[in-house]
Amino acid sequence: MLLRSSAGFMLFLLSQCTVSLGTKEAVALANAHLLPQRDYESLGNANDKDYPRDCFEILQRSKGNSRDGLYIIQPKEEPIVVFCNMQDGGWTVIQHITANSTVDFDRTWQDYKYGFGSVHDNHWLGNEYMHQLTGSSVQYILGIKLVSLNAEVKWGQYEPFLIEGEESQYRIRVGLYKGNATDALTLDTEAYLHDNQKFTTKDRDNDNYFMNCAKLELNGVPGGGWWYDACAGANLNRRNVIYWQKDCNKQRPCKFAWMMIKPIEHHQSYPAKACPCQKVEL
């Protein structure tokens, strides 16, 4: 049951504790709109007394036994729901897109600020929550995971990774790169640099082009919100074509893409491997 109150969205979860079976505990989730009602019962840590900062902390608490799925984390004052990629080592997913997604990524500044989609599927977690996660004393690494039509997996990782606050237009800052995917954020192989760029949406133009890059269409589909230069050497938010320079484009289409983060001190590189990579998998 989902109710709106002055305190925000209230998520009522049936307790699994034997001492309180049949009672309801209220959990205020800042991004409850990303959690369809049918998924409430699938939250992996709904009955915790306190919520961890990110997915890696959940993996630590479980001594490595947590599985992929939906969890509650609390990067700042309000808890939020996220998808955790546990099989690769406790990554917090901040974006996921499927080629020709039914989720519309041509959204407003406000939509990108607080997130949209369904957190267990195609979604954008929200620039504000990305800032809350990465804008503290804990440094994070950004992981990019790309899956081609023939299930070839490529990784790219940037260390460190930071999203600045709204007063800086959610500017992206990335550090050193490693991985077998193309470095599409810091190398200007196509004359575009995404590092240190402000975020642009169709209703807020912060890019370096004379037109709004988020409005430029490819086969009738706008680019969506992104950290454009003038315009893009990479864009994981264009719904009809996942774009990551030579790895994902019209000629070499990709089926899935993920953006996820993890604390630097617990960083681990992952080799590319073939996988079935069904829609619900990471």
User: Does a structural domain hold residue 3?
Assistant: no
User: Does a structural domain hold residue 158?
Assistant: yes
Beta-sheet strands, E only, within the chain = 2-5, 8-14, 24-28, 69-73, 80-85, 91-98, 116-117, 123-124, 140-148, 153-163, 172-179, 217-218, 221-222, 234-235, 243-244, 254-263
**Model confidence over 28-87: pLDDT tens digits?**
899 999 998 767 778 989 888 899 999 999 999 999 999 999 999 999 989 999 999 999
User: Does a structural domain hold residue 183?
Assistant: yes
User: Does a structural domain hold residue 227?
Assistant: yes
CA distance 205 to 202: 7
pLDDT reported for residue 47? 84
- Phi then psi for residue 28, to 5 deg, are -85, 115
CB 267 within 8 A of CB 138: no
- Torsional sign, CA 249, 140, 226, 36: positive
Q: Give which of 35, 98, 244 is closest to 44, Cα–Cα.
A: 35
User: Does a structural domain hold residue 38?
Assistant: yes
**Model confidence over 101-113: pLDDT tens digits?**
999 999 999 999 9
pLDDT reported for residue 270? 44
State percent of the chain over pLDDT 70: 84
CATH number at residue 76: 3.90.215.10
| Least confident residue range of 7-21, 43-57, 188-202, 245-259 | 7-21
User: Does a structural domain hold residue 207?
Assistant: yes
User: Does a structural domain hold residue 27?
Assistant: no
261, pLDDT greater than 80: yes
Domain tally, the chain:
1
In this structure, the dihedral spanned by the alpha carbons of residues 231, 223, 216 and 170, taken in order and rounded to 10 degrees, is -50
**Mean pLDDT of all residues in 171-192:** 90
pTM equals 0.85
User: Does a structural domain hold residue 26?
Assistant: no
Mean pLDDT of the chain: 85
Q: Residue 94: give the domain boundaries.
A: 32-263
97 three-state secondary structure: strand
